[in-house]
Amino acid sequence: MSLKLGVPSKGRLMDKTFDWFGQRGIELGRAGSEREYAGYVQGIDNIELVLLSAGEIPRELAAGRIHLGVTGTDLVHDKLGQWDRTVAELAGLGFGQADLVLAVPRCWVDVNTLDDLDAAAAAFRITHGFRLRIATKYHRLVREFLRENGVADYQLVDSQGATEGTVKNETAEAIADITSTGDTLRANHLKILEDGLILRSQATLFRARKAPMDDADRKTLKTLLKQLELD
């Protein structure tokens, strides 16, 4: 058998993950053409690279189909209930930093905190006859956060991309999404609530707690962690 390492198959997370391993003497790369989702590993034996969508890596780890995986903490915490039962964090990789935040239109001058949002949501329901809509792809994290903070009169609207545009498009009144520079929020006339930080995320190396391993795999894992200085 071999140890399976899941890595994002495209974009900034893939490139920076390759760099991070490269700096530690393990060369990861894509094999074949730009479009082919096959990878190679050099500098250590018995590890197979599996190129996956960043959003699917949490599920693959939880199912034990990959032993190790790199993805954002936001995706692991959102996609896996009680995530620390199925996966363990081995190391934050120091890139892919982004904050999951709750934001409302800048023109809502009376809404700056979660308490304000709660009051606005109750008033919104009376005026409009339906609950204030919050667009997000982070359903679990947003629900938990709002429950913990006593905001109840809202509904989540699923948005898998271009979430900041939903307010202008009138499919939501507020959003919860990842931000790093803040440019996208500003460009879409949105402001973050003062206490609206839901989660700080970064790219992280995770280990599956329940992936099947034989003795050779355990030896490979030990060698890898030593080389990455994570033992």
Ligand X SMILES: O=P(O)(O)OC[C@H]1O[C@H](OP(=O)(O)OP(=O)(O)O)[C@H](O)[C@@H]1O
d(CA 150, CA 119): 11
Out of 56, 60, 74, 164, the only residue in the binding site for ligand X (CB under 6 A) is: 164
To the nearest whole angstrom, how small is the minimum distance from the Cβ of residue 139 to ligand X?
15
Of these partners, ligand ATP, ligand X, none, which one is at the site of residue 190 (CB under 5 to 8 Å by kind)? none
- Tokens 């009138």 map to which residue? 170
Out of 177, 191, 198, 221, the only residue in the binding site for ligand X (CB under 6 A) is: 177
Out of 183, 194, 195, 231, the only residue in the binding site for ligand X (CB under 6 A) is: 183
Binding of ligand ATP at residue 58 (CB under 6 A)?
A: no
Query: Measured from the CB atom, is 179 or 204 closer to ligand X?
Result: 179
Of all residues in this chain, which one has the CB nearest to ligand ATP in the complex?
Answer: 72
Out of 1, 2, 11, 171, the only residue in the binding site for ligand ATP (CB under 6 A) is: 11
Say whether 216 sits in a helix, a strand or coil. helix
d(CA 66, CA 5): 6
Which one of 20-28, 49-57, 115-123, 149-157 is the stretch in contact with ligand ATP (CB under 6 A)?
A: 49-57
* Residue 171 near residue 64 (C-beta atoms within 8 A): no
Which one of 19-27, 47-55, 60-68, 78-86 is the stretch in contact with ligand ATP (CB under 6 A)?
A: 47-55
Which residues in the 68-107 window bind ligand ATP by CB under 6 A? 71-72, 74-75, 96, 98
* Residue 204 near residue 92 (C-beta atoms within 8 A): yes
Alpha carbon of 100 to those of 69, 90, 162, 213: distances in Å?
21, 22, 14, 35
Kindly report the length of the chain.
Answer: 231
Binding of ligand ATP at residue 7 (CB under 6 A)?
A: no
Exposed e or buried b per residue across 154-192, where buried means at least 16 C-beta atoms within 10 angstroms of its C-beta: bebbebeeebbbbbeeeebbbbbbbbeeeebbeebebbb
Binding of ligand X at residue 55 (CB under 6 A)?
A: no
Query: Measured from the CB atom, is 137 or 207 closer to ligand X?
Result: 137
Of these partners, ligand X, ligand ATP, none, which one is at the site of residue 121 (CB under 5 to 8 Å by kind)? none
Strands 68-72 and 47-52: unpaired
Binding of ligand X at residue 181 (CB under 6 A)?
A: yes
Q: What is the CA radius of gyration of the chain?
A: 20
Out of 16, 48, 55, 90, the only residue in the binding site for ligand ATP (CB under 6 A) is: 55
Alpha carbon of 48 to those of 4, 14, 91: distances in Å?
5, 15, 20
Q: Which residues here bind ligand ATP, judged by CB under 6 A?
A: 11, 13, 53-55, 71-72, 74-75, 96, 98, 178, 180, 201
